[in-house]
Amino acid sequence: MELKLSNLSPGIGARKAKKRIGRGEASGSGKTSGKGGKGQTARTGGTVHRHFEGGQMPLYRRLPKIGFTSQQKVTGNNRYQVVTLDVLEMFDEGTEITPQVLLESGIRIKPCNKAGFKLLASGECTKKLHVKLHAVSAGAREKIESLGGTVELLD
Protein backbone atom coordinates (compact mmCIF):
# COMPACT_ATOMS: atom_id res chain seq x y z
CA MET A 1 0.00 0.00 0.00
CA GLU A 2 1.30 3.33 -1.02
CA LEU A 3 1.55 6.07 1.67
CA LYS A 4 -0.33 9.25 0.69
CA LEU A 5 -1.89 12.16 2.54
CA SER A 6 -5.33 10.86 1.68
CA ASN A 7 -4.83 7.55 3.44
CA LEU A 8 -2.94 8.68 6.59
CA SER A 9 -4.60 7.89 9.95
CA PRO A 10 -3.38 7.92 13.57
CA GLY A 11 -2.30 4.67 15.17
CA ILE A 12 -4.68 2.53 17.19
CA GLY A 13 -5.19 4.05 20.65
CA ALA A 14 -3.51 7.34 19.72
CA ARG A 15 -6.79 9.27 19.75
CA LYS A 16 -9.15 8.95 22.71
CA ALA A 17 -12.74 10.19 22.69
CA LYS A 18 -13.58 12.95 25.19
CA LYS A 19 -15.54 11.71 28.22
CA ARG A 20 -19.09 13.11 27.94
CA ILE A 21 -20.31 13.77 31.46
CA GLY A 22 -23.86 14.48 32.54
CA ARG A 23 -25.48 12.34 29.83
CA GLY A 24 -27.64 10.03 31.91
CA GLU A 25 -26.99 7.58 34.73
CA ALA A 26 -26.35 4.68 32.36
CA SER A 27 -23.24 6.43 31.00
CA GLY A 28 -21.50 5.99 34.37
CA SER A 29 -20.84 9.72 34.76
CA GLY A 30 -24.35 11.14 34.87
CA LYS A 31 -26.35 12.89 37.59
CA THR A 32 -23.54 14.47 39.68
CA SER A 33 -21.10 14.26 36.74
CA GLY A 34 -18.25 12.89 38.82
CA LYS A 35 -18.45 15.67 41.40
CA GLY A 36 -19.89 13.59 44.24
CA GLY A 37 -22.82 14.85 46.31
CA LYS A 38 -24.14 18.33 46.92
CA GLY A 39 -22.39 21.17 48.65
CA GLN A 40 -19.61 23.67 48.33
CA THR A 41 -17.10 21.43 46.57
CA ALA A 42 -19.66 20.34 43.93
CA ARG A 43 -20.02 23.96 42.79
CA THR A 44 -17.91 25.73 40.23
CA GLY A 45 -15.23 27.73 42.02
CA GLY A 46 -16.21 26.20 45.35
CA THR A 47 -13.00 25.50 47.25
CA VAL A 48 -12.33 24.90 50.93
CA HIS A 49 -9.24 26.53 52.41
CA ARG A 50 -6.52 24.28 53.78
CA HIS A 51 -7.18 24.75 57.48
CA PHE A 52 -10.98 24.50 57.29
CA GLU A 53 -12.26 21.72 59.57
CA GLY A 54 -15.86 21.42 58.47
CA GLY A 55 -17.20 24.01 60.87
CA GLN A 56 -15.38 22.53 63.86
CA MET A 57 -13.43 25.09 65.89
CA PRO A 58 -10.11 25.27 64.00
CA LEU A 59 -6.91 24.12 65.62
CA TYR A 60 -5.33 27.58 65.57
CA ARG A 61 -8.28 28.87 67.61
CA ARG A 62 -8.37 25.91 70.01
CA LEU A 63 -4.73 26.18 71.04
CA PRO A 64 -3.79 28.62 73.81
CA LYS A 65 -2.05 31.79 72.76
CA ILE A 66 1.32 31.95 74.47
CA GLY A 67 4.09 34.49 74.45
CA PHE A 68 4.27 38.23 74.70
CA THR A 69 6.08 40.90 72.72
CA SER A 70 7.10 43.89 74.74
CA GLN A 71 6.14 47.17 73.09
CA GLN A 72 9.39 48.59 74.43
CA LYS A 73 11.27 46.15 72.21
CA VAL A 74 9.07 46.99 69.24
CA THR A 75 9.14 50.77 69.60
CA GLY A 76 12.71 50.97 70.88
CA ASN A 77 12.05 52.67 74.21
CA ASN A 78 14.76 50.64 75.92
CA ARG A 79 17.36 50.67 73.16
CA TYR A 80 20.56 52.59 73.64
CA GLN A 81 22.54 54.20 70.89
CA VAL A 82 25.90 52.47 71.23
CA VAL A 83 29.08 54.54 71.33
CA THR A 84 32.47 52.82 71.55
CA LEU A 85 35.71 54.09 73.06
CA ASP A 86 37.44 54.35 69.69
CA VAL A 87 34.76 56.84 68.59
CA LEU A 88 35.72 59.08 71.53
CA GLU A 89 39.31 59.16 70.23
CA MET A 90 38.28 61.90 67.75
CA PHE A 91 37.67 64.39 70.59
CA ASP A 92 40.39 66.55 72.16
CA GLU A 93 41.85 65.76 75.56
CA GLY A 94 39.77 67.10 78.46
CA THR A 95 36.57 67.39 76.41
CA GLU A 96 33.28 66.86 78.19
CA ILE A 97 31.33 64.23 76.21
CA THR A 98 27.56 64.72 76.40
CA PRO A 99 24.74 63.52 74.12
CA GLN A 100 24.58 67.00 72.56
CA VAL A 101 28.31 66.91 71.76
CA LEU A 102 27.92 63.47 70.17
CA LEU A 103 25.00 64.64 68.02
CA GLU A 104 26.90 67.71 66.83
CA SER A 105 30.01 65.67 66.02
CA GLY A 106 28.23 63.89 63.15
CA ILE A 107 28.17 60.37 64.59
CA ARG A 108 25.58 58.26 62.78
CA ILE A 109 22.48 58.09 64.99
CA LYS A 110 19.65 55.57 64.65
CA PRO A 111 16.21 57.20 64.41
CA CYS A 112 14.71 54.74 66.95
CA ASN A 113 17.04 55.90 69.72
CA LYS A 114 14.82 56.71 72.71
CA ALA A 115 16.85 55.42 75.63
CA GLY A 116 19.92 57.59 75.12
CA PHE A 117 23.57 56.75 74.65
CA LYS A 118 25.57 53.88 76.12
CA LEU A 119 29.35 53.78 76.11
CA LEU A 120 30.90 50.37 75.46
CA ALA A 121 34.50 49.31 76.05
CA SER A 122 35.34 48.03 72.55
CA GLY A 123 38.32 49.81 71.05
CA GLU A 124 40.96 51.90 72.75
CA CYS A 125 40.96 55.47 74.03
CA THR A 126 44.20 57.21 75.02
CA LYS A 127 42.80 60.59 76.10
CA LYS A 128 41.54 61.91 79.40
CA LEU A 129 37.83 62.63 78.87
CA HIS A 130 34.85 63.61 81.01
CA VAL A 131 31.89 61.46 79.95
CA LYS A 132 28.26 62.29 80.82
CA LEU A 133 26.00 59.69 79.16
CA HIS A 134 22.89 57.66 79.98
CA ALA A 135 24.68 54.32 80.46
CA VAL A 136 28.28 53.12 80.61
CA SER A 137 29.59 49.55 80.65
CA ALA A 138 31.86 48.50 83.52
CA GLY A 139 34.81 47.96 81.17
CA ALA A 140 34.44 51.39 79.59
CA ARG A 141 34.19 53.06 83.01
CA GLU A 142 37.35 51.30 84.14
CA LYS A 143 39.33 52.33 81.03
CA ILE A 144 38.27 55.99 81.21
CA GLU A 145 38.96 56.29 84.94
CA SER A 146 42.37 54.58 84.55
CA LEU A 147 43.34 57.42 82.14
CA GLY A 148 42.27 60.03 84.71
CA GLY A 149 38.88 60.83 83.18
CA THR A 150 35.51 60.90 84.89
CA VAL A 151 32.21 59.12 84.20
CA GLU A 152 28.83 60.54 85.17
CA LEU A 153 25.44 58.99 84.44
CA LEU A 154 22.52 61.09 83.21
CA ASP A 155 18.92 60.45 84.20
pLDDT in tens, 12-24: 999 999 999 999 9
Question: What separation in angstroms does the CA of 62 have from each of 48, 56, 149?
Answer: 20, 10, 60
29/99 same-domain check: no
Q: Report helix, strand and coil shares of the chain as percent, to nearest 5.
A: 25, 15, 65
Which of these ranges, 38-42, 77-81, 128-132, has the smallest mean pLDDT? 77-81
pLDDT of residue 46: 85
Q: How many CB atoms lie within 10 A of CB 29?
A: 15
- Encode pLDDT of 82-102 as tens digits: 889 988 988 999 999 998 898
59/106 same-domain check: no
pLDDT of residue 29: 92
Q: Which of 147, 94, 102 is nearest to 125 (CA)?
A: 147
32/77 same-domain check: no
Coil vs helix vs strand at 114: coil
Residue 29 lies in a domain: yes
Domain coverage including residue 39:
19-65
Residues 6+ apart with CB under 8 A from 139: 120, 121
Average pLDDT of the residues of the chain:
88
What confidence category does residue 146 fall into, taking pLDDT thresholds of 50, 70 and 90? very high
User: Considering the entire predicted model, what is its pTM?
Assistant: 0.51
pLDDT of residue 113: 60
CATH of the domain at 124: 3.100.10.10
Domain count, the chain: 2
108/140 same-domain check: yes
pLDDT of residue 37: 87
38/75 same-domain check: no
33/90 same-domain check: no
Residue 11 lies in a domain: no
